Structure 1
Amino acid sequence: MKKKQGIFLVIFCLLLAIMSGTVLSLYDNVREHSKVSKEDITLHYCDEFGYYALALQKAMNPDYKVLSYGKEVPEYMQNICDEYINDVLKNSLTVIQSDSDFMFQAVDTKTNKELSHHKENMEKTDKLFQFTIQFHADSSIQMKGDLDDRIFNQSIFESIANNVLDYYRDRYMDLYSVEDVENGFDYHGVHYGDESIKVNIPKNLSVSFALPQEVTKSSHYYGNVYYESYAYAFAATAMAVCCGILFMYFLIYPVRVVENAPLFKRIYHLKAGLRILLMAFLISIWITSTIMLSVFTINKEFYEFFHQMNIGGGNMLIPIINFVVWFITLAVISLEIFQIKYIFAHGIMRYLKEDTLIASLIRKIKSYSHRLSEFDLSNSLDKTILKFVLINTIIIFIMCTIWVFGYFLAIVYALLCFVWISKKAKKIQQDYLKIIDAAKQLGNGNFDVNIQEDLGMFNGLKEDFSHIRDGFEKAVKEETKSQNMKTELISNVSHDLKTPLTCIKNYIVLLQDDQLDEATRHEYLENLNQYSNRLTTLIEDLFDVSKVNSGNMKLSLMDINIIALIEQAQAECMDQLEEKGLNIITCFEESEIICHLDGDKTYRIFENLFTNISKYAMPNSRVYIEVHVKDDVEIIFKNISMEQMNFTAEEIVDRFVRGDKSRHETGSGLGLAIVKSFTEVQQGSFHIEIDGDLFKAILHFKKVQDQA
């Protein structure tokens, strides 16, 4: 077995070395392939070369005017454009003069004046590209080198002129005069590509530009010379390929040989939880470091760092560092790959139950939970606690056998454990008994019981007990309120029934007098008819309310037009409203709003509201009726009260009450109660809003499409 393990380790190390060396050997190839071609470079910077030429001409000849203008271009526009192009050229000159790699040489062929940067390197170093632009006295352009006149010509300077016009258009539109706009000029008569604004092409100037074959990271052109993403893609791909090879290697090798190999055996002595965390941390660190190191080596940044720090032997040390880092990273990944095979080889469930740290903790927690579940908090805990302390003491004695002073420390520890645990357990028992006592008091109807003390592990129960107490007290109050309201309703109904009955009885007695003249008898009969009608209305209203409350109300639902029903009820009650001098103002969002309701019950709702208004609204005032269609249909009746409203919105619909607290008005006093009952039985809602003397009755019904 040891021989097989030795062979495995030798092959494993050779495999890691071969893969690491192979990756390193590809660095130069990757760097070459990540380099952009000279054609792409010259094409990408073609416009910038035009700016550079103008900037050099301006630097050598300060009197050189870059732009010329037609007569139609106003002076202030010329000043703006000149200031802009001069700033651009100044920045362009700063870029090429401060760049660590870019080389240029400009010569005025008429005065032999020269301006250059890294001129000494133009003949010594290998060039990524090099070309010369010759501007003749007649403004013609001649190209030599890697940039030809098909790419760089006079159209470059036309494009620059258009860029100036773009700048002016985007930033100075507010400077146009009214006269310019009225005359229909486009940018003061200046158009793209015409002769109104043009660049004065340099004359008698020879400019040479070059870039070395190796561009440093600090250069302005580095990002367009090298595709840095190539290096990242190569490093990631190389890592993936190496991982695949290692996976195939561990797949074919027997697991029993690998798990006993020195490196792997030490790692797997750790619990799985710690091992997974450790491996995940190491893999993430090493993979990230390896990829970044590879990229920095490929793009020569690592070599520049050695040069800046004056560290010698960089050309030899950097490959060694890369080899070691790749070797360690692949070794760490190998440990994780084998862990995956180990899990599947021994079974996932067995691995989770036996090897993981979480499973071990779960087993211990389960054991302790089972013991704690045997405690009875209502009985004495001393014996149970003493039992656990004795067991703990025996364990401590066993562990301390190798140290003579361990016996004494074990006894002290056991006593301290007993005192501490006993104190804690008794506190738990006391808290438990407090909860039980409070529950008993609550059961006996004592709602004032409140637990202020800290109950430790029972604090959650203390909060639940508080909620139960509040809920129980609220339920009792609601029931008491309901009973009081029923008693009050019976009392009020008895009073209202007794009044018309007494009047009817009295008039019957009076009518039995034979001496009554015909006019008086007729008057008594009318009064008798009035009180009998009032009694009939009261009884019918009581029956309607009781039917709704008992659930015996039968509905004949159909699609009805709410607007038409309101108008019909208004017409029926118009005599009463006009008698009070009330002006009805309606605001309907639509002429037809369909709801699925009982026509008779809904008409009764509107009739009661109009009747209520005719009785209690201030005479000669306005009444507003609004219907809004939102998520549902909202109907609002608004009026000004004749009397002061010394009642709440809930009281006026829940109690047997009239708006002026009088018992001598006609009607049953149940008008709004019937409105509320009939609305809610049809799945609607009704509520009252009172604001000073403003009385608002608001109903909500579902639209027919919502019910479908």
Structure 2
Amino acid sequence: MDIKWKNRLRVGFWAMMCTFGLSGLLVAFTFGNQYVHRDYFHTPEFRMELDQFAQYLNMFELNSITFEEKKQSLTVSEEEINDYRNGMGDITDQTNSIQSDYQFRIEEALLADNQAAADIYAAEKDKKIEDITKIFKSDEYARERIMNEKEKELKEYFKQREQYRTDYLKYKNQFQYYFQSGFSDKDYTNLSLVGDETVQDKMNPQNTLYMTSYSIPTERSLDVWLLGETFIPFTGEIAVPKGLPSSSSFMSQYHKYKQEQITLWAYAFLSVAALILCVIFGRKAIAVPSAVGRGPSYYDKLPIDVRAVFFILTSIGAIISLFFIKHQFIYVFDNPFVYGRNMFIGLVIATLFLVITLIRGKTFAAQFKNWGHLKEEWKKGLLHKAGKGVKSLFTQAKESLTDAFLNRSIGVQLLVLLISVFGLGAAAMMIDLNPGLIVVYIILLAAIGLPIVLLLIRRIGYFNRIVIKTNELAAGNLGQDLPVSGRSVLAALAEDINVLKQGVKTLQHEQAKSERLKTELITNVSHDLRTPLTSIITYIGLLKKEDVSSEDWLTYVEIIDKKSKRLKVLIDDLFEVSKMASGNAELAKERVDLVQLLQQALAEYDDMINNSSLQFRFSNPGEPVYAFVDGKKLWRVFDNLIGNILKYSLENSRVYITVQTGNHHALITFKNVTKYEIGENMDELFERFKRGDSSRHTEGSGLGLAIAKSIVDLHEGSLDIDIDGDLFKVNISLKVEETTQVHH
């Protein structure tokens, strides 16, 4: 008995050393890169502190300028006045915008019988219009406005800068510095030199914990850019003196880093030593089952699949415990008692999991050597028994179905009912239930659903099925059609129910389509407008930062300009579609040669066509084809269609554009092979914000075809789409002049 306990203690001690070694390696691998530096003053964290101090020093001392000094030097040039006016836009547009904005407010106030509010709005309107007019008419007034804005921005800048002065003073009390100007002999230092003392007497390796050369670069920093001053470079040295009090943040971090560094590498060294001992005594540990003895008899009686799951869980538990130890180590320096205790508890738990995994794993692996015994154990397992139970259940179901089909008509009807119940039930459950509960759903389906189905197969007849289907229709569950057999009253009733169901289904389909298109419109409008707007907001935020270089500033401005133009195109297209949908669009018809207009549209894309891999084939009657149309709007149709061809055509394919006349109409056809798969519902391509590439990878607004069709409809023509696989064909039919000859 004593020998068995000694063996168990030996195994437990070996497992604890192994766990300790693994945890130490995990900790060293995770945090070691933070503690490879000589001391805290050589870490990236301290370097960030040093750079921050240099920025503050440059801001408050080296390149410092007062608010009053800068305010006196502010000027406003003629170019700034012109830019200020150009940024506001056209004076007419500004005036009209103010008029329309306040007109709506005044009318609302009058409708509410609030004359006082209407008078206030009218006064505000007149004041704003007067202000805008004075800006455009008077240079002095515009200069005064710009100067006020500059002073306001300058004041805000200095106000924000003062928020950093406390941090600067904290750093200044812990750093020693000495800098020389690149353009003068002036020195900047916080050293107190007595008599003949020099900077080297104060700042040298013997008197400092850390010392480094530092230079303020010659680039323009953000604050200097805002102030509009010439940036002066400085070179010098920054040091941390040895005489700092222990309460200073640098000394606290210095001692803390040193303590953590020693602890970490001592932990790592001991863990390596522990692993070496584990390897040396590893052979004895392999004999754990014989040394410790067999586990409790009830465990060996468990099914083999349950034991396999238990083995996997103990392995996972050991790994989780090791990671728990690692996460506790990072906090052990803040509260050694609490987190050190947690590490010890984690070490004990990980050791227990490791011992159990080792014992059960070796016992479990030994069973795989005897395949005959393993097969016998598998037959006793829960999974095998569950499989046999499912097989028995299906056998009973098969026998019941055979009995149900003794009368073929009733059997077919019951089978349809079975498919309907399972299909609708499974679909509803899959939609409503949390995906994580799928296992529970399967268990409930097997325990409750199957017995109910067997009961229905045995007892429900044709009449009951019609009643159930009627109830389902009333509840909104359409399902499959009722089978109609014979000429009985029940068959006629079933046929009438089917007709009614198809009508409801059609109505629901149209309603669902309408709701879906409405949702897609709102979603796509929000997405397409938000995308450039988000970019504009993001880059404006970047411009507000203090560390933006001149090159980055120009890049951000270019991106903002590009996204602004993109946003304008989207809004213009949206207004165009809205105007046409409301019937407010007007046509300026004139006699236009459709062939020449189409050639002009193609010429606009000449460079893009030549740079693409597409081959355009254009054929026409060879003479003008005149029609009374709005040339600008019809050119917009051709422009949208050609642009779509260039975006969505398959590379290295041909594009055919033809113009034919006949029966007093001109037929203009565009044919191309698409690179994206197009859905079967062609009508949806005319919906707003609908694109051929459903993933919305392209830059278009999705309004092109909707605008084109609206324009053609205004001309009392027709625009149709024909899709054959990947072949995309657009046919435009327009009425032409009587004098135009007929060509085929």
TM-score when normalising by structure 1: 0.39
TM-score when normalising by structure 2: 0.38
Tell me which structure has the larger Cα radius of gyration. 1
**More helix per residue: 1 or 2?**
2
